[in-house]
């Protein structure tokens, strides 16, 4: 059985906690896109963990975790993330972590290029996480990237790096920054990549064998539908495809079909960085919601932009993900509200719009907000549907109808058991 856990919104929906919960019944958990530009925060009986590159299944013993070919891996970050988890008591060995030989290595010069470009843009900046993700994906598509498997072949690696750096340094120099040397980059690979030599495998071959043997395989997305390179709020998207349809490709098993696609959707909206965010709240209202939800980026600590639930964007998110069902997370965060704002449609030049618009139409869209009755009591102890106050039930049912997708989980806290299964 193949399951995909994907984000319906702009990311930070709480995918990590859902994967952590559902990974119990899984054998293999795979990250299929992105790099260390986002983070999952998982709270369980062992503590609080921040995962940027590793799949959330790493926190459970006996689960195999895979970094797929669709990923871009900053090996220095991976090295540090793995060591931090080891310090926290998590065992990580080639038995429970496998890295695709086709995953691309994100180098320090990619990180530098990302920062140099954001600085050059000044107040027109994209709000990049400055982790080198966009430059390294560009390098990948220009066929000027090093792959994890190349680490196993030092002679080839050196030759490739010479060619790539000749080219890359032209860009770095144009920004007036110091050039990168092959020697330094080889040293960097030796320090941070060499420790993973035994983890690098042909993931496609491995996964096909396991799938044939009837193993349960889960694809774990980073970010959400609206950050998908093709279907999101371009150019304020991520540089990879976050959608479920890409999961088998980015995992190395394009021949396999997903059996179950679970979309994760927050009970309100949040967005990190620049770009159109129609539901955005400002002032005290925003401050209260941000504080209630602890809405600060897991990877960067940046305060997130916040707003009410966005029906237009979420319905679109469910569609491009092909979500069979959705989990609503962080319902408890709304406990304090007298009335709950929901963006029911957009106003674009005086026209009411219910289909997600693009480009300039999205840029100028204004929210049409309705208010649903709040419940004004704590939901964090609710474990069954009947435990939820009537207004909270109404809110969930309203969302379910609006996004035309069945709600199967309602999360009322970050802990493993703080969930209602419908
Ligand atoms: P992800 O990248 O989609 O996994 O999302 P993040 O990890 O950035 O954000 C989710 C945050 O919300 C984490 O700190 C979680 O521990 C927390 N969280 C997840 N679900 C819930 C919930 O139902 N209620 C509350 N209060 N916090 C939650």
Q: Is 37 in the pocket of ligand 1 (CB under 6 A)?
A: no
**Statement: 104-195 belongs to CATH 1.10.300.10:** yes
As annotated, the residues of the chain forming the CATH 3.40.440.10 domain(s) are 2-102+200-262
Confidence at residue 188, expressed as pLDDT on a 0 to 100 scale:
98
Q: Give the number of other Cβ atoms within 10 Å of residue 191's Cβ.
A: 12
H helices within 55-202, ranges in order? 75-87, 108-121, 133-141, 154-174, 182-192
The pTM for the full model equals 0.93
Q: How far is CA 181 from CA 152, 165, 192, 253, in A?
A: 20, 7, 17, 36
φ/ψ region of 261 (left if φ > 0, alpha if ψ in -120 to 50, else beta) reads beta
- Of all protein residues, the one whose alpha carbon is nearest to atom 17 of ligand 1 is 414
Q: Is 20 in the pocket of ligand 1 (CB under 6 A)?
A: no
As annotated, the residues of the chain forming the CATH 1.10.300.10 domain(s) are 104-195
Is the dihedral angle over the CA atoms 21, 23, 25, 31 positive or is it negative? positive
The domain 266-421 is classified under which CATH number: 3.30.470.20, 3.90.170.10, 3.30.540.10, 1.25.40.10? 3.90.170.10
* 31 CA from centroid of ligand 1 (Å): 18
**Spatial CB neighbours of 236, under 8 Å, sequence gap ≥ 6:** 126, 127, 227, 273, 274, 275, 276
As annotated, the residues of the chain forming the CATH 3.90.170.10 domain(s) are 266-421
Q: What is the pLDDT along the chain (422 residues), one digit of tens a residue?
A: 999 999 999 999 988 889 888 988 999 999 999 999 877 777 878 888 889 999 988 988 899 999 999 999 999 999 999 999 999 999 999 999 999 999 999 999 999 999 999 999 988 887 788 999 999 999 999 999 999 999 999 999 999 999 999 999 999 999 999 999 999 999 999 999 999 999 999 999 999 999 999 999 999 998 999 999 999 999 999 999 999 999 999 999 999 999 999 999 999 999 988 899 999 999 999 999 999 999 997 666 789 999 999 999 999 999 999 999 999 999 999 999 999 999 999 999 999 999 999 999 999 999 999 999 999 999 999 999 999 999 999 999 999 999 999 999 999 999 889 999 99
- Of all protein residues, the one whose alpha carbon is nearest to atom 11 of ligand 1 is 14
Q: Is 43 in the pocket of ligand 1 (CB under 6 A)?
A: yes
Give residue-wise pLDDT tens across range 278-299: 999 999 999 999 999 999 976 6
CATH number of 2-102+200-262: 3.40.440.10
Would you name the residues annotated as active-site residues? 12, 40
* 272 CA from centroid of ligand 1 (Å): 14
Closest atom, ligand 1, to C-alpha of 39: 2
Give residue-wise pLDDT tens across range 237-275: 999 999 999 999 999 999 999 999 999 999 999 998 889
- Of all protein residues, the one whose alpha carbon is nearest to atom 16 of ligand 1 is 414
């Amino acid at each position: 059985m193949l399951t995909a856990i994907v984000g319906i919104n702009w990311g930070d929906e709480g995918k990590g906690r859902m994967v952590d919960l559902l990974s119990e019944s899984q054998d293999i958990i795979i990250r299929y896109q992105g790099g260390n530009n986002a983070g999952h925060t998982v709270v369980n009986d062992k503590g609080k963990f921040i995962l940027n590159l590793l799949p959330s299944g790493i926190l459970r013993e006996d689960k195999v975790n895979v970094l797929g070919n669709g990923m871009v891996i900053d090996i220095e970050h991976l090295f540090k993330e793995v060591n931090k988890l080891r310090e926290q008591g998590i065992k990580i060995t080639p038995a429970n972590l496998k890295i695709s030989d086709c995953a691309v290595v994100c180098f320090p010069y990619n990180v530098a290029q990302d920062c140099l470009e954001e600085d050059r843009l000044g107040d027109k900046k994209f709000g990049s996480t400055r982790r080198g993700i966009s430059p390294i994906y560009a390098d990948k598509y220009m066929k000027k990237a090093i792959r994890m498997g190349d680490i196993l072949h030092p002679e080839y690696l050196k030759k490739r790096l010479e060619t790539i750096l000749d080219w890359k340094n032209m860009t770095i120099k144009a920004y007036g920054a110091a050039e990168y040397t092959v020697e330094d980059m080889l040293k960097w690979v030796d320090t941070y990549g060499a420790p993973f030599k035994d983890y690098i495998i042909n993931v496609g071959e491995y996964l096909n064998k396991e799938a044939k043997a009837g193993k349960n395989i889960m694809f774990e997305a980073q970010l959400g539908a609206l950050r998908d390179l093709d279907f999101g709020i371009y150019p304020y998207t991520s540089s990879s495809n976050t959608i479920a349809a890409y999961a088998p490709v980015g995992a190395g098993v394009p021949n396999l079909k997903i059996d179950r696609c679970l979309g994760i959707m927050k009970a309100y909206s949040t967005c990190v960085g620049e770009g159109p965010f129609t539901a955005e709240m400002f002032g005290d209202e925003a401050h209260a919601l941000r504080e209630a939800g602890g809405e600060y980026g897991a990877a960067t600590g940046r305060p997130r932009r916040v707003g009410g639930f966005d029906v237009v964007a979420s319905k679109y998110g469910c569609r491009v993900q092909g979500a069979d069902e959705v989990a609503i997370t962080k319902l408890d965060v709304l406990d304090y509200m007298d009335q709950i704002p929901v963006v029911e449609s957009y106003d674009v030049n005086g026209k009411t719009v219910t289909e997600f618009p693009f480009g300039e139409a999205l840029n100028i869209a204004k929210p049409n907000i309705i208010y649903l009755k709040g419940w004004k009591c704590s939901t964090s102890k609710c474990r069954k549907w009947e435990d939820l106050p009537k207004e909270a039930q109404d809110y969930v049912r309203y969302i379910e109808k609006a996004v035309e997708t069945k709600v199967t989980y309602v999360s009322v806290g970050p802990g493993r058991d703080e969930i209602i299964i419908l």
